[in-house]
Structure 1
Amino acid sequence: MTFPLPVLSLGARNVCELLFIFGLITYLICVSLPNDYHKSKVFVPKVEPQTNFNHVVFGLLGSEKALHDRKHYIESWWRPNVTRGVLYLDKAPTGDLMPWSDTLLPFRVSDDLTKLLQETKARCPKNIRMVHGIMEVVRDMRDTNIRWVVMGDGDTIFFVENIIDVLGGFDYRKYYYLGGQSEYIMANYRYSFNQGFGGAGFILSYPLAKALASDMENCLRRYALFFASDTTTMSCIADIGVNLSPHKGFHQIDLRGDLSGFLSSHPKSPLLSLHHLDTVKPIFPVLDRHQSIRHLMEAATADQSRILQQTICYHKQSNWSLSISWGYSAHIYEEIMPRSYLQKPRETFKPWSPRTSRPLYMFNTRLPSNDSCHDPHVFFFEKVDKVSMGILTTYSRANPRGLPPCSLTSQYKPDLISHITVLSPPIKRKEMDRCECCDVVVMGGTDTSVEVKLRECGLNEVIA
């Protein structure tokens, strides 16, 4: 069966012709417009800037009495007119703290919490003040650009460039609670394995900080009998439904004595903070505590991304292993030793509290040795120079090792080495999935010297 085609009336044909002519005119007008007109009409999604210094605020809690000595710690990392934050003191500063120095972040006196303390019969008033400080930072630093709130103590040393780089990998619009555990296993057991220890510093995404601040006084009432501010903070955050995201770059330093073994085998994570440096020996043997921190910051200023990062190298001709803790120390072992062994910190330090049974720490360690083949020649960071090929760090011998050589037949004499130079690339490292590789040159004879050049590893390079 066939169907007859519809026959348009004269009026319908006129309408179709008019529509065709209108469409043709519209098309000609569009194609004749300049390209810029079309581009202006194309929807371009807004690209947000990478996390930078303007997006991060620091909230420090300290006492006026302690600040007279601890202000040097703050001055070592704070960058006037670059970093943002507030230092909350228990009372107004006096004496040599006034007039207030531009090298310190602005201060405020913490809120008077007398009424809340009386109502709650708080077990530790200092604890309440420390936790309440989070709410004060959110209130006092209200800004639509803020993405992250970093909390710490007056003696916390932050590595702000590394913090910015690490935070750039997180979505600031979500709830995040970043921090580190104590190095001392019993401290985590007594308080919590799931809390960020406040001396090392912890970081809250701004949405989480605002949520925490909005319920702060109710939470402080719920946990008024808690003794530790870190545990209170963790509990308040847990009530919102958020848990700690641990990061190995935060360091509470719940250790005693000689910290060099710990700092010479830093985890493969950007260094974010150091705390409790008043409780250990100066980290450089010939300098005092304040000089030591300034000295470490000289290297950090040249390249924060590599500071303390451990690179293990081998010089097969001499049968040596080298361990470089960038910007801090360099070790030479007179034997080829597995990387997995050298990555364990030498136990030059002691636990926070006396304890006879192990485990003591939250990481594996290796004991110092009197074996000439296993005990290293130790060199400490001396200076840093920017050269045409990159950054040159120099490490000088601390003290004579006081042991005979591992091999009496080797043509290389490590006891004659006074300095080690390390050349690193001029660009910072952002990816920490793999350590760097290196090339080692040892010049023998009476003027023995060691030169190390750091580089990215080959795709399938075996570096054992």
Structure 2
Amino acid sequence: MLIGSRILTILLLLCGSLVLFRLRSRSNSPPVRLEAAGQSNQGGCSGRLTRLIDLDLKFPIKYARRDIIIKANPDLDRTSLTQIDAALLSDVQIVDPVKSPDSGLEQCSSPLTLEVPAFPRQPANASHIIFGISTYIERMEDSMPHLQRSLGHTNARLIVLAVEFGEVTPDSKEMAALETRMRGLGIKATVIGAPNNSLMQTRYFSLVKVLYEKRDSATQWISLLDDDTFLPSMYSLVDTLGAYDSSKEWYLGAMSEDWWSVMVYGMMSFGGGGTFLSIPTAAQINANYDTCTKESTANQGDIRVFECITAHTTTKLQPVTGLHQTDLGGDLSGFYESGRLPLSVHHWKTGWHFEQKPEQRALNTYPMAKMHLVSDVCGNCFLQRWQFGSNTILSNGFSISTYPNQNILAELVRNKEIDKMEDTFMPTREVNSFMKGYEHSIGPLRPRAEGKIQYKLLDAKAEENGGVRQYYVYRALDKEPDIVYEIFWTGNETQV
């Protein structure tokens, strides 16, 4: 009887514990474990709905939420897709926090625990890189939060070449105020004025000379960016540059994703993806600066850099995987839902210039700083993909996608088509060439998935306790209520 009693006690304890789900990794990485409690109908979510009032929503809405607790695993690698044998969210329910702010949720899912690759808790050290941007002071307002996330507290230096806007020339007070603001955000910025009436292509090219002259003994690389270039992971960028011997001549960058542009402009580094020059290469440009300036008739600064390097050195472009000019028109869902962590992203602010209609370009801009906020909790988890259950994929920071026809998703995963980028983009410009348009840059594409429903990131907010709260929305048609999913990411086990 005593033995039987002990067995019964052990069984009861097992039944009352958290259910463990094992992740099925799509690589050779060690298996990851996910702790998840079963769904609870005990309420416990009252008082949380008032946070929804500040969002761009029309109430009532259909709503569900989930807390995710992050645990870093040093033996884990990021994979293209991580499969989890658990649902991400419980069933939605109708809520109206304006009329019923204290109402609870009938179904309040317990937290999930996800393991992610280990990541440093301190910013990367990029003191050996000087970045340069040529832009209008007016455009820096939108760029400030993104530059803070890219460069803040990394010791990377930034030179901003402020240019006149129309007939308005930035004065010393404006430039000093911008510099003070940026330094207050942890960006080691210096703002200087560009020569009056200088052309855009001349200003961009002159950045090479300016950055070279401002180098110090620690400087190994100078980098030219646009004001709408975003660097999601300085650690990854520093590691990538570390693979190249900076004492030698290097010209690093990425060609356009648009093959038409490559055919027209050449095998060069397109500026929006970021151009990286080792100091020996920058020295060659500096030594031949006047000659290159006189000889060039190019109407773009990145072309002038390419011409000068080609004319006066034997150095050729070394394409770097992960740098993206992002010359991809239309819906960029395929890019952001690919599971890949880019080294750079361009055109997030204004869309691609090939999209001629302003309203079209406005639809295809992305709140990069909010999308990227979750990385404060889970490191390089930005845009990482998890498949929950049989029909849901979370592309972290961009979307939650559901597949009502589960067979479509199962087929994509089984045939590894899910690793290809989904072709959601506008048609490419025709080129009489063997290349269709985008494949040289982003690899083979797969057709747009039929029936997929997207919940796009609406907002993200950092909490005082270090957590990050994300809101994903599906805008319903007709008079149906919008559907909102809230995901709260935290590094501790306190559900908030």
The answer to whether residue 291 in structure 2 is matched with residue 242 in structure 1 is no
1:259·1:349 contact (CA, 8 Å) conserved in 2? yes
Q: CA deviation at 1:189?
A: 1.2
Residues 348-381 of structure 1: CA distance to partner in whole angstroms, max 9, x if unpaired? 3325769999823234333435x44xx2454537
Q: CA deviation at 1:146?
A: 0.6
- Could you say which residue in structure 2 is the equivalent of 1:338? 412
The 3-state SS of whatever aligns with 1:295 is: helix
1:185 pairs with 234, 259, 265, which one?
259
The 3-state SS of whatever aligns with 1:350 is: coil
| Closer/same/farther in 2, CA of residues 250 and 382 from structure 1, 3 Å limit | same
In 1: Cα distance, 2:372 partner to 2:292 partner: 38
1:87 pairs with 139, 160, 172, which one?
160
- Could you say which residue in structure 1 is the equivalent of 2:346? 274
Q: Spell out the pairing of 1:10-159 with structure 2 (5 A cutoff).
A: 52-62=125-135, 64=136, 67-78=137-148, 79=151, 82-91=155-164, 92-93=169-170, 97=174, 100-101=177-178, 102-104=180-182, 105-111=189-195, 125-139=199-213, 141-159=214-232
Q: Unpaired segments of 5 or more residues in structure 2?
A: 1-122, 183-188, 356-361
Q: Which amino acid aligns with 2:437?
A: L
Q: Spell out the pairing of 1:387-398 with structure 2 (5 A cutoff).
A: 394=470, 396-398=472-474
1:76·1:294 contact (CA, 8 Å) conserved in 2? yes
The answer to whether residue 369 in structure 2 is matched with residue 297 in structure 1 is no
In 2: Cα distance, 1:51 partner to 1:346 partner: 32
1:233 pairs with 305, 308, 329, which one?
305
Q: How many residues align?
A: 335
Q: CA deviation at 1:275?
A: 2.9
Q: CA deviation at 1:382?
A: 5.1
- Could you say which residue in structure 2 is the equivalent of 1:438? none
Name the % identity: 21
In 2: Cα distance, 1:221 partner to 1:422 partner: 56
In 2: Cα distance, 1:178 partner to 1:189 partner: 19
In 2: Cα distance, 1:219 partner to 1:240 partner: 12
Q: Which amino acid aligns with 2:181?
A: T
Q: Unpaired segments of 5 or more residues in structure 1?
A: 1-49, 115-124, 282-286, 403-414, 427-464
The answer to whether residue 420 in structure 2 is matched with residue 350 in structure 1 is no
Q: Spell out the pairing of 1:346-425 with structure 2 (5 A cutoff).
A: 346-351=422-427, 359-362=436-439, 363=442, 364-369=444-449, 371-372=450-451, 375-380=452-457, 383=460, 394=470, 396-400=472-476, 419=485
In 2: Cα distance, 1:425 partner to 1:166 partner: 28
The 3-state SS of whatever aligns with 1:134 is: helix
Q: CA deviation at 1:151?
A: 0.6
In 1: Cα distance, 2:264 partner to 2:285 partner: 24
Q: Which amino acid aligns with 1:398?
A: Y
Q: Which amino acid aligns with 1:228?
A: Q
Q: CA deviation at 1:190?
A: 0.9
Q: Which amino acid aligns with 2:421?
A: P
2:332 pairs with 232, 249, 259, which one?
259
- Could you say which residue in structure 1 is the equivalent of 2:99? none
The 3-state SS of whatever aligns with 1:380 is: strand
1:329·1:381 contact (CA, 8 Å) conserved in 2? no
In 2: Cα distance, 1:383 partner to 1:90 partner: 33
| Closer/same/farther in 2, CA of residues 354 and 266 from structure 1, 3 Å limit | farther
In 1: Cα distance, 2:238 partner to 2:258 partner: 27
1:261·1:347 contact (CA, 8 Å) conserved in 2? yes
| Closer/same/farther in 2, CA of residues 401 and 187 from structure 1, 3 Å limit | farther
2:377·2:491 contact (CA, 8 Å) conserved in 1? no
Structure of larger gyration radius: 1
The 3-state SS of whatever aligns with 2:181 is: coil
| Closer/same/farther in 2, CA of residues 99 and 88 from structure 1, 3 Å limit | closer
The 3-state SS of whatever aligns with 2:217 is: coil
- Could you say which residue in structure 1 is the equivalent of 2:84? none
In 1: Cα distance, 2:286 partner to 2:172 partner: 33
1:55·1:145 contact (CA, 8 Å) conserved in 2? yes
Residues 388-425 of structure 1: CA distance to partner in whole angstroms, max 9, x if unpaired? 9x9877563423599xxxxxxxxxxxx99953759798
Residues 127-179 of structure 1: CA distance to partner in whole angstroms, max 9, x if unpaired? 2332122011111x130011111111223223334322322333222222221
In 1: Cα distance, 2:486 partner to 2:245 partner: 41
Q: Which amino acid aligns with 2:191?
A: F
- Could you say which residue in structure 1 is the equivalent of 2:7? none
TM-score by length of 2: 0.57
Q: Which amino acid aligns with 2:448?
A: P
2:146·2:230 contact (CA, 8 Å) conserved in 1? yes
Q: CA deviation at 1:59?
A: 0.9
1:254·1:351 contact (CA, 8 Å) conserved in 2? no
TM-score by length of 1: 0.60
Residues 317-362 of structure 1: CA distance to partner in whole angstroms, max 9, x if unpaired? xxx2544323222323323033432233333332576999982323
Q: CA deviation at 1:109?
A: 2.0
Q: CA deviation at 1:183?
A: 1.8
Residues 170-206 of structure 1: CA distance to partner in whole angstroms, max 9, x if unpaired? 32222222211212221111111x2111122111122
| Closer/same/farther in 2, CA of residues 393 and 168 from structure 1, 3 Å limit | farther
1:327 pairs with 394, 397, 402, which one?
397
The 3-state SS of whatever aligns with 2:372 is: helix
| Closer/same/farther in 2, CA of residues 184 and 89 from structure 1, 3 Å limit | same
- Identify the structure with bigger relative contact order (alpha carbons < 8 Å, sequence gap 6+): 2
Q: CA deviation at 1:54?
A: 1.4
